[in-house]
Each structure stands twice: as structure tokens, then as C-alpha cells.
Structure 1
Amino acid sequence: MNLKKKSINRSLRILIILVLLLPLGGIGSGSLATATSTTVCGEGDHGLLQQLQKQHQVEGQSALYFTDIQFLNDRIGRASGNGFIIGTSDAGCHWQEIYTGQWQIAQIDFSNNKNGWALATLPSQQKKHLIQTSDGGSHWKNANTSITFDRIDLLNDKEGFGYTATSAYKTVDGGENFTPIPTPVNNRYAFFSDMKTGWSIVVIPSGGYKVMKTVDGGKHWSLKLKVAADSHNGGEIYSNGNQVWAVLYGESGMSQVSYSLYGSTDGGSHWNRVIAQDTAGGGPAPGSGKAIVSKGPASPGGHPGNMQLIGKSTAFLAGGSPAGEVVSVGSSYNGEKSWTNITPSIEGYDARISFTDNKKGWLAVVNSSTKSVVYMTKDGGVSWNVKFSFMK
């Protein structure tokens, strides 16, 4: 009897040890190898993607660089690039290879840790394909559509949107079918925050912009903002509940971009001109009236990147200045009432951001084979720490 007890106790001890050795909070399917425990948090490339880097060198392809970043929460995130996706389950301290292959990833969008979409091209091709994964990004398949999307946005596993330069489409079956959404004439940028509520930036042929809103899935549109301008180069719009922001472009030149940023926290009933960036190369910013600030993040002549909206009134805008070779962020914590551009301290030309709350976020220096780095902030962008770097 004692021998039997000793055998059971030994088996239990072995089982406990094995459980303790299992990785926690993995990315995707859970079958991917994690970075070694000896890797120092946030230093270098963590020994990843070495084979892919050598392959690019042999074949004369571009060095590896980032194109997009997305964090689902304050620990789990992914960063994509030209032929790869890496992921972290501890806020960027350690990383693992999720995907390496032929797809040159332009945008990623995951609804949860397993199901996601991406826009990607094949080597030496320009056409963007919509591809889908159900194992966290390890394996991808072409979606059942012939539409060439410029942007994608997932609401959940079944519902999502795809956008071209002038049109919007929706799916309610996980991308098996896409249905066109009616948009205003001369639409140049649409965005839907749910299946009913959407926004459109409409160009006025003679110059200027209209911002339109729908609350019935595109059946009817109403005018929410009209901005006079000599140009009509389009823009971008972001919304989260009643918080809405519109980036309206002027002209560009000498690596500089003129643009205005308008904000609203009451669903578009009232707007404020927050940024009005005039540049020597791009001329005056669209609109009129005093703005809160005369420059966007990352000067001189910084290009606006993507925005992230948190809650009812927090907004972050990425910016990159090819002329100044810096990237940075600007932010507001009370909607359109104030704006702060944080002094650039990061080398780069363009940036993508992903914030999970009003302080914690990640920034990827994108489309640069010489400055490809992922940074993390815990203070809203005032200070940044390196979490992954291809820099030599």
C-alpha cells in the first residue's frame, strides 16, 4: 500500500512540474515557439526572423520592415511586415514568429486572438488580396471575393467592412459574401462604427469637403460638416460612439503635407478645428477660422498617420516627418477642446499606433528598412521604450 502511495505522489509531482512548464497566454493556436527565456525584454530582434532576413539578402529583396501593428489588450498584440507577422503575449517583452511566407502584409485586423483578416500583396505584384486566418495568423487563405479593398475593419467574427477608394462593403457571414453599402456621390472615404452608423468624406468638385453621416446603414445621409478649400484630395475619418474626428487633406510638396483635423464629441452636431497645418510645400490647410494648434505631430510638415480613439474623449494621432526623419504622436484627453503635440524623439518617416487605454500604447515605425522598431509607452506617448528592433 505504501509503495502504491509513493508511486501516486511521484506521478502528481511530475504532473505539477509539467503544468508549470507550459507557456501562458500564447498567441494564436498555441503551437508556436516562444522566444527564449534568456532574451532581454525589449532588446534587438529577439533572435527572430533570421532565416527570412537571410532569404531576403540572397534574393535581393528589401530588408524586413514593419507595416502595421494591433494590440487586442494590454498584453496581446501583433506586428506585421513584408513577409512576416510576429506576436507577443506579455506587452512586447518577448516575441514569437507567427507567420513567415510570401504574403507582404499591408494591414492586419483581428477580432480576437484567433480570427483575423489581412490585406496583402504577393511579391512583385500591386494587387491587394483579402486573406483570412482562424489560427491566430499562422496560416492564411484567400477570402471569397474579387473586390480589391484598400482598408478592412472587423467588428467581430461575422461582421465587418471592406473599403475601396470610393465605395464601402459589409459582410455578416465572416467574409463569405460582401454587400455594397450606399454611399454619397463623390465619396472619398467611408467608415462604419457599427452596421448602422457610418461616416463619409465627400469631395466638392469645385474644391472643399462635406462630412456626411448615416444612422440607417447608408440608406440616408445627412450633412454634418462643410469645409471650404481649394483642394479635394480626400481624407480620413474615425469614430467611437459620439467621438468623431476628420482628417482633411490639402496639397503636398517638398515631402510636406497640409491638412486640417476637425473633432466632435457629440456625434457631429458641433465641430472644432483642432489642427490647421499650413506648409510651404502644400499651401494652406483646408477650412478657415482659428485652430487650437498650427502644426500636427512630427514637424516639419508631418504626415498624419492613423488615429486611435479611447472612450468618449481621448484621441491619439500618429505623425511622421520624412523631412525631419522623426515620428511622434499628438493627443487630446477632452475631445476637440484641446490638443498637445508631443516633442518628436523617435527616428523614422511614418508610424502606426495601437493604444489600449488612455496611457498605454505601441508605435511601429513603418515602411522603413533602416529604422524598423516597435516602441511602447505607458504615459500617453511622453516617453517610449524599444520593444523590438531590426536596426543593426
Structure 2
Amino acid sequence: MNPVNKDLKSVTFVNSQIGFASGDSGVIIKTTNGGTNWFQLSSGSTDDLIKITFTSINTGYVIGTDSLIMKTTNSGLSWVRQNSNTNNSLTSSSFINDATGFISGLNQTLLKTTNGGSNWNNLTFPESLNFYSIFFINNLTGWLSSEDPNLVGDSALSIFKTTSGGINWFKQYKHNREFSPMLQLQFADSLNGWSVIYLKAVDLSYLIRTTDGGNIWTEYPLGNSGNWCLFFINQEKGWAAGPQNRIRRTTNGGESWINSIALPASINYFSNYFADSLVGWTVGANGIILKTTTGGVLTGFSNTTSEIPDNYSLSQNYPNPFNPNTIINYKCSMFNYISLKVYDILGNEVATLINENIPAGSYDVQFNGADYPSGIYFYSFIIDGNVANTKRMVLLK
């Protein structure tokens, strides 16, 4: 049970039983039994608390939008405000241990401590940018996502890397102004990392992934409707929680995604955390907290909406053309045996995406064309052995 109804923006656990979440209006809550029960802690603040991190069972940090940094050394029983050395809004934090941490913010705000926050020092940066996410894997190596508020061009959005503990930074990735800022970065190790970009014009989100430490980033379609929060436990297995009632999982590093669980409707999710490949938590709007003990896995594909459609429909895949992944949505109004098959231009079946009994609902399925040549393909929606609809899609490499 969660005692608050404020939006929860961040969740973290120090082990399978003890966890914390923070949110709007100074909310901090804690569980000592794996999330079965939560109780509210006194933060002493009314700021929106956007990121909470614990480096040990006793030591934790929380940051807020109004240049707020607070620390606890008694597992959240009391919180002490630290001098952030800035008046700018803070956006993200990354702590290596109890002593060393980094914080990003707007208006070129980049902070570092090596003494547990007794002092926060401003790191110099060669450009005047807004920073949205920061992630370090050790004392020296980290990444930073940014937006140039004054630039309308191909490098308005960027990812920078440091191998000197924030002293020097070099640009690794850039994208155009049509995309919203990258609000989250995560790395599993020195090579494998992820972020999300959102193209407002067509309402599409893309996962961007690197497997070489950030030198090359590859885009994969994730779905529509805004930014998603990510959590990977290794280079292959991860989860994405986002707007409009959606949590998805991947077992191949984000190259393809499947819907994870049926969720309450009309809820936005802001943060997730997994203790291992099975046990995880997701928090979101109005104080909602979800927990899975199965890695979010259910048999077959799960609903993407709680509404039951009135009829059957097959939507045009998106994006289209695509390379190499695309998403196909279909709806069915009752329990049926559903098949979704892909054919080449000669009519040869090349893939079966669905072939099982499916309850009524709306579903997203992802097709990966990495192993197929460029060209025109068709996908057929088959209900109880009868072809209900067929549409064309273009794989363009």
C-alpha cells in the first residue's frame, strides 16, 4: 500500500526488501518488505524530488527541481540539505559510492562531489547547454545528454563522454531539433548503453543503443507517445516504462520489444528498477507502484490497453519504410486464434509473428527485418484460419 497520491518520479532499491521512491511536493516513501507496504518519510521539502539514489543501506541522495540536494545517512529517517552551489534546476544524478557523485542541470549546470556532498564543485564545460541526464560507471568514465536551446540544427541534441572524471568532455552523438531531449542515459558497462529520443511530429519514440562505448549509436523503434524510462540489468535484458499504460521488455539489448504486462489505463510511468531478472518495480502518476516477480513475463502477448475494441482491425506498421524494426498493431473484439504472418513480394512466408489463442484487446507486435533483404513485404492478419486483412510494408536498408 502506498500512502501518497502524488506523482512518483524515481524509485530505487538497496536490496530485495528495502527500497525508496521520491516524487512531487517533497514526497519520499520507503518499504522494508519488498513493496508490500510503504510508509512516508519526512523530507522537510515541498520541491518536486525527481531522482533518488542510495549508495548503501544507510546513505542516500535526492535531488529536486529547485537546485535542491539532500542527503541521508540513516536510511531516510532524516534528510539534510546540502549547498548545491547553483540556483538552476537539477535534472539527473549519478553516484559511484558514498563519497563520489555527479549531478546535471539546466543552464550548463554540472556538479561533482568527492566528499559525500560536503562540497559540490562546478565542472567547466565548453558550451552553454541544458543537461538532462548523466551516468557514470566509475570515477572517470561517464556520459551526459544535452540540448542546445539556441540551436536549430543537426547538433541541437547531443551525448558527450568523459574519461577524466568530468574534466574533459567530447561529443559522441548528435541529433536534430525535431526530437525532444534525451531524458535518461543508462550504461550496463563500459561498452553497452541506451537512451530514448522522441520525435514529436509523428509521435514516435526510438531507443538509441551503443555497443562500443558511445562511438556509434543505432536507433530502434520503441513505440509512440513520448519519453520512456529505461532499466537494464545487463547488456541484453531490460525494461522500458512509459506513457499511456505501457511497459515493455527486451532480451536482445533493445533491438526488439514486446509488451510485458496488462496495466491500469491512462497512467504515465516515470521510473523503474529491477533487483534481478525477475523482481522489479515501476512507479508513476498519482502514486502508482507496480511490482513483478516474473520479469513482467506473461504467456503470449499482453494487452496494450484496458479497452475492448468493438471490431477487428489491423493498423499500418510504423515506421514505414523501416530498418530493421517496425511495430504492427492489431485489435480483436473476442477470444480468437490469431495468426500474424509476413510474406515477401513473391508470396513466400518469411515470418510468423503470432500464432496462438489471444484474448480480446489491442496489441503491438514488433517485426525485425535485420535478416531479410530490402524490398516490399506483406503482413496478413488471420482470425481462426481466415485472412481478415493484409497490408504492405517496405524494408529499406
1:246 and 2:246 are equivalent in the alignment: no
**Cα distance in 1 for residues equivalent to 2:43 and 2:102:** 26
Following TM superposition, by how much is the alpha carbon of 1:128 offset from its aligned partner in structure 2, in angstroms? 4.2
Hey, what does 2:112 align to over in structure 1?
A: 170
Q: Which residue of 2 aligns with 1:357?
A: 276
**What is the number of residues matched between the two proteins?**
284
Q: How does 1:227-242 map to 2 (within 5 A)?
A: 227=175, 229-231=176-178, 233-236=180-183, 237-241=185-189, 242=191
Separation in structure 2 between the aligned mates of residue 373 and residue 248 of structure 1, nearest angstrom: 25
1:153 paired to 2:91: no
Kept after mapping to 2: 8 A contact 1:308/1:316: yes
Per-residue Cα deviation, 1:309-338 (whole angstroms, up to 9, x for no partner): 2123322221112xxxx2x22222222433
Give the letter aligned to residue 248 of structure 2. Answer: G
Pairing 1:382–2:297 present: yes
Q: 2:76 is matched with which residue? A: 137
Q: Is structure 2 residue 58 aligned with structure 1 residue 119?
A: no
Q: 1:265 to 1:340 in 2, by over 3 A?
A: farther
Any idea what SS the aligned residue of 1:150 has?
A: strand
CA–CA separation in structure 2 for the residues paired with 1:100 and 1:269: 40
Equivalent residues in 2 for 1:97-108, closer than 5 Å: 97-99=40-42, 102-106=45-49, 107-108=51-52
My pick for the range that moved more, 130-139 or 202-211, is 202-211
Among 21, 27, 37, the residue aligned to 1:94: 37
**Secondary structure of 1:207 counterpart:** coil
Instruction: Tell me if structure 1 keeps the 8 A contact 2:269–2:282.
Output: no
Deviations 1:10-69 (A, max 9, x none): xxxxxxxxxxxxxxxxxxxxxxxxxxxxxxxxxx45xxx5xxx7xxxxxxxxx5453432
User: Which of the two has greater helix per residue?
Assistant: 1
Displacement of 1:113 after TM fit?
Answer: 1.7
Any idea what the Cα deviations from partners look like across 1:183-239, whole Å, max 9, x if unmatched?
A: 452544352313211223355723234433221234444443344x35254213222
Normalised to the residue count of structure 2, the TM-score between the two structures is 0.63
Corresponding position of 2:378? none
Offset from partner CA, 1:60-118 (integer Å, 9 cap, x none): xxx54534321122221122343443322221223344337554451322111211111
1:76 aligns with 18
Question: Is the alpha carbon distance of 1:341 and 1:272 closer, same or farther for their aligned partners in structure 2, counting shifts above 3 Å?
Answer: farther
Matches within 5 A, 1:157-306: 157-165=98-106, 166-183=108-125, 185=127, 187-189=129-131, 190-193=133-136, 194-203=138-147, 205-208=151-154, 209-227=157-175, 229-231=176-178, 233-236=180-183, 237-241=185-189, 242-251=191-200, 257-275=203-221, 295-296=222-223, 301-306=224-229
Identity among equivalent pairs (%) = 24
Note closer, same or farther for the CA distance 1:201–1:351 as it changes in structure 2 (3 Å cut): closer
Displacement after TM superposition at 1:344 (Å):
4.7
Task: Answer whether contact 1:105 1:118 (CA < 8 A) is retained.
Answer: no
Residue 349 of structure 1 deviates from its aligned partner by 2.5
Superposition map of 1:302-341 within 5 A: 302-321=225-244, 326=245, 328-341=246-259
Q: Is the 8 A contact 2:11 2:19 kept in 1?
A: yes
Instruction: Please give the secondary structure, in 1, of the residue aligned with 2:295.
Output: coil
Contact 1:69 1:80 in 2 (8 A): yes
How does the TM-score come out when normalised to structure 1? 0.64
Q: Judging changes above 3 Å, is the alpha-carbon distance between structure 1 residues 342 and 207 closer, same or farther for their aligned structure 2 residues? A: farther
Given that 1:238 and 1:244 are in contact with CA atoms closer than 8 Å, whether structure 2 keeps it comes out as: yes
Q: CA separation of 1:167/1:341 partners in 2, compared to 1, >3 Å: closer, same or farther?
A: farther
Structure 1 unmatched ranges of 5 or more: 1-43, 54-62, 121-125, 276-294, 384-392
Would you tell me which structure has more strand in proportion to its own residues?
Answer: 2
Change beyond 3 A, Cα 1:115–1:337: same
Q: Which has the higher contact order (CA 8 A, sep 6+)?
A: 1
**In 1: Cα distance, 2:18 partner to 2:48 partner:** 19
| TM-aligned CA distance change 1:263 to 1:184, over 3 Å | farther
Deviations 1:244-298 (A, max 9, x none): 112223336xxx95432211223124432112xxxxxxxxxxxxxxxxxxx42xx
C-alpha distance in 2 between matches for 1:232 and 1:74: 37
- CA-based RMSD of the aligned residues comes to 2.8
Q: Secondary structure, in 3 states, of the residue corresponding to 2:209?
A: strand
